[in-house]
A = this chain, B = another copy of it.
């Protein structure tokens, strides 16, 4: 093995911590430091040195790839293009509707400065996107289904917490088993939003809040809950902390199709994750390896998981992969 790939971590929440842990599992990588907008003295890492994000340029020579661990809503739209002009980057931008414009902005910045960026890495977007593309490409006549869960949705949990009378809350997205079975058995059903997923909410009320009113406000909330069968359970703060602070997630991508004369073929990709951020972080580190290799071969600009050959993710050489995993 040659030099280790030196990975910087920009942002140190659950995702950044997960990246630091994943680097420790990959012997061909090393942490080049954590970069934060907080006071560095206030950040406790697993061992990485902490620096101010606004002083990151001073460390440029020590960073091969920078993993951006900020949020998609306000951090990445600004940080992504700005940092891709100065570093090779990998990020988990996940606002599906805004991916094309984000890609273009990062691509321009990276290309103009001979940098390589990989955007929208993780499991959805990410590995699930790959499953959809492989499935659609090898079964031209078919239908693709994505089911999420059982897992915690941050967006829906945030929506609960904005309801007056709610002190805290966690929302689980739950796939409907019967819907999955219909697809798995080779059918191509038209499934409504309500038929695919249910939503489970665990809510801690403010003192004196009206439980019935809170429940009604949640289950009728447009966009988030109105189109689903939603259950609301009221729990105390201690129960919420004890039973609902993990961040499990996962889901299923299915492609069901026909070949030849009415022959049914079904592909399924499934994830069962005890920790969504730790898994996303592990995927980011594999793609940081790919970004490093792409930059070495001067393949600059923005990339997505679709543009990256699987061999680039592995610490093994192509010859080792052929001998061991083909």
Contacts and interface: CB of A to CB of B under 8 A. Distances in A.
Interface stretch (A133-141, A163-171, A217-225): A133-141
Contacts of A310: 130, 133-134, 137, 305-306, 308
Contacts of A281: 259
A186 B272 contact: yes
B311 A133 contact: yes
Given A259-B279, A278-B259, A326 B304 contact: yes
Interface residues of A, number: 68
A104 to B, nearest CB: 9
A56 interface: no
A247 to B, nearest CB: 10
A72 interface: no
A307 interface: yes
A140 B259 contact: no
A120 interface: yes
Contacts of A127: 134, 138, 267
Contacts of A315: 137, 140
A77 interface: no
A260 B289 CA distance: 19
A133 B322 contact: no
A309 interface: yes
A268 B270 contact: yes
A129 interface: yes
Contacts of A272: 184, 186, 265-266, 268
Interface string A232-262: 0000000000000000000000000001110
7 contacts: A138-B283, A138-B313, A260-B275, A267-B269, A304-B322, A306-B310, A306-B314
